[in-house]
A and B are shown apart, each in its own frame.
Chain A
Amino acid sequence: MSGIHSKFNKGIIGWIDYRLPIFTILDDMVGTGYPTPRNLNYWWNFGSLAGLCLVIQIVTGIVLAMHYTPHVDLAFASVEHIMRDVNYGWLLRYVHANGASMFFVVVYIHIFRGLYFGSYKSPREVLWFLGIIIFLLMMATAFMGYVLPWGQMSFWGATVITNLFSAIPVVGDYIVTLLWGGFSVDNPTLNRFFSLHYLLPFAIAAVVVLHILALHQHGSNNPLGIDANGPQDKIPFHPYYTVKDLFGIAVFLIFFSALVFYAPNMLGEVDNYIEANPLVTPAHIVPEWYFLPFYAILRSIPDKLFGVLAMFGSILLLFVLPWLDTSRVRSARFRPVFKVFFYVFIADCVLLLVCGGKPPEGIWLILGRIGTAYYFIHFLILLPVIGFWERPLPLPKSISEPVLGGGKPAAAVAAPAKE
């Protein structure tokens, strides 16, 4: 018999699975057939949470599109129609708007988890690349989604961000005109952004499938960063991690609900409740919070082209990260020097985030420049150098018997499951 060998042979499930092995595939993906390191801690919950966020965004987005009108004269009014007249429209819109923020919170934690535990290192480089591609697609989707309500911040955000492309020598202006479909951000721009905002999430979903496929090739990394030696180091994904993920989802939804029901506009901009007006620029244009670090990098460089290059470079840099980090030890638990600089790097990202939200003048401009410089120094200088010079702590022999390595690992291994 060719094809996938069915693991189910009883009842309706067996009948279907014999013909279409979806249950076997599911079981191998997220079921009993997927052996997973036994020591994953709660930081590993954020992958499934990101998946949940994507589903929430797609489902609420499809429903909102049933009531939204992508036309400059009607877009703002149609959003108000959703908020005031559509049954539960306010709930759906607030979930979608805050869902974007929660999605970024989750993905940022997911990324920093990967950075801390060295999840980008061999043999998971392609898994990491796919993650960066998802991140880039998310940013494009979020940006275009923010334009749709056609408030002041939507309009001016779109104007500023599309103008970034005018920094490209020679063809820049043509590209911007192409993006706009006119000579300014206007109805054609809004229409194409709506179309793409609807399309890209499905592109993200497709890349997520590849991301999971790549993950399954070598399995999850783990807090110790060492490879599993045998079956004693692994447990089936179901029920151990399914139930742990469900618990994580329930807790995550508490935070999400608190935001949606009690502070739905906290992360938004008041100016976006003013309809777009091409004649008046708001005093202080800022992107959504999740773009602020990159916005800070853009503004800290006094040259248009180099500012744009630095901003895109700050993300594209992640593609060469597996080679910039020269250490062969994955987990920061055994890299005392890297660990310190990892926390400094987080502080730097927070600094950039804060600077991005402040007007680019005085102390904020200086801090933004320091933060930008450090961001690049971290990746381009510190990581390669630390990899060479650092003396890592002795690694445990295996996930289930870490004591042989000496030091404190016994506690470190026992802890994750209980955390």
Chain B
Amino acid sequence: MATSGSNGGADGVVRRDFLTIAAGAFTAVGVAAAIWPFVHQMNPSADVLALSSTEVDISKVQAGQAITVLWRGKPVFVRHRTEAEIDAARRDDTASLPDPQKDADRVKKAEWLITLGVCTHLGCVPLAFQGDYKGWFCPCHGSHYDTSGRIRKGPAPRNLEVPQYAFLNDTRVKIG
């Protein structure tokens, strides 16, 4: 725009340049501001955000069993660990871990392990009580997790994620 319709005069050129730049800057700001609603509409809507917790009854899960519940559209493992599993997990606190974390930091009550059931590699659901460490084994690409849900072998980079949760009483857990 600045190059055309020149009518000479230093003053005129300067003024046009200022106007053109100001108009261009305004347009850029306006377009950027207008794009935001189109992006933000894809973020979780208010009703989705409001449904971000779920309650689980754990009274029927015996030691050595695990259940899978749905939370935010994803599986959550709730595993009632045996003494042997807890011991194994604690023993390995000192082993060489790809993502070092103490078992005690991953549980609120030692016998209950609660993690997201999503392999940290590419999002498959690992199978419980399988693999080299008898924790979980992800069949998609062969990641092995131990009885604390920590990654021990395979392509996954991180331990199974521990969601926010709280024990409402001895038999009910609120996840989220």
Contacts and interface: CB of A to CB of B under 8 A. Distances in A.
Direct interface between A and B, CB < 8 A: yes
Interface in A277-291: none
11 contacts: A63-B38, A63-B41, A84-B47, A85-B46, A87-B40, A88-B40, A88-B41, A92-B41, A240-B5, A243-B1, A246-B27
Contacts of B96: none
Contact of B37 (A84, A88, A236, A243): A88
Nearest to A59: B38
Contacts of B38: 59, 63, 92
Nearest to A88: B37
Given A67-B45, A87-B46, A242-B1, 18 more contacts: A59-B38, A63-B41, A66-B42, A84-B46, A85-B45, A85-B48, A87-B37, A87-B40, A87-B41, A87-B43, A88-B40, A88-B41, A92-B38, A236-B4, A238-B4, A239-B1, A239-B5, A246-B23
A81 interface: yes
B4 A89 contact: no
Interface of A (DSSP majority class): helix
A91 interface: yes
Interface in B25-43: 27, 37-38, 40-43
Interface residues of A, number: 21
B45 A89 contact: yes
Given A81-B47, A85-B45, A91 B37 contact: yes
Contact of B45 (A87, A236, A240, A243): A87
A32 interface: yes
Contacts of B47: 81, 84-85
Contacts of B37: 87-88, 91-92
Contacts of B42: 66
Contacts of B27: 246
Contacts of B41: 63, 66-67, 86-89, 92
A63 B42 CA distance: 9
A84 B46 CA distance: 8
Contacts of B43: 87
Nearest to B42: A66
A65 to B, nearest CB: 11
Q: Most chain-A CB neighbours within 10 Å: which of B41, B43, B46?
A: B41
A85 B41 CA distance: 10
Interface string A76-106: 0000010011111101100000000000000
Interface string A32-61: 100000000000000000000000000100
Contacts of A67: 41, 45
Nearest to B50: A85
Nearest to A247: B23
Interface string B38-80: 1011110111100000000000000000000000000000000
A92 B48 CA distance: 19
Contact of B4 (A59, A81, A239): A239
Contacts of B48: 85
A92 B45 CA distance: 14
Contacts of B5: 239-240
Nearest to B46: A85
A99 to B, nearest CB: 13
Interface string B96-125: 000000000000000000000000000000
Interface in A241-284: 242-243, 246
The 5 closest A-B pairs by CB, nearest first: A88-B37, A85-B45, A85-B46, A85-B47, A87-B40
A89 B43 CA distance: 11
B22 to A, nearest CB: 13
Contacts of A236: 4
B32 to A, nearest CB: 15
Contacts of A91: 37
A91 B1 CA distance: 33
A340 B95 CA distance: 95
A102 to B, nearest CB: 16
Contacts of B23: 246
Interface in A102-131: none
A236 B5 CA distance: 10
Contacts of B1: 239, 242-243
Contacts of A239: 1, 4-5
Interface in A9-48: 32
A185 B43 CA distance: 34
A227 B37 CA distance: 46
A63 B40 CA distance: 11
Nearest to B37: A88
Interface string A122-154: 000000000000000000000000000000000
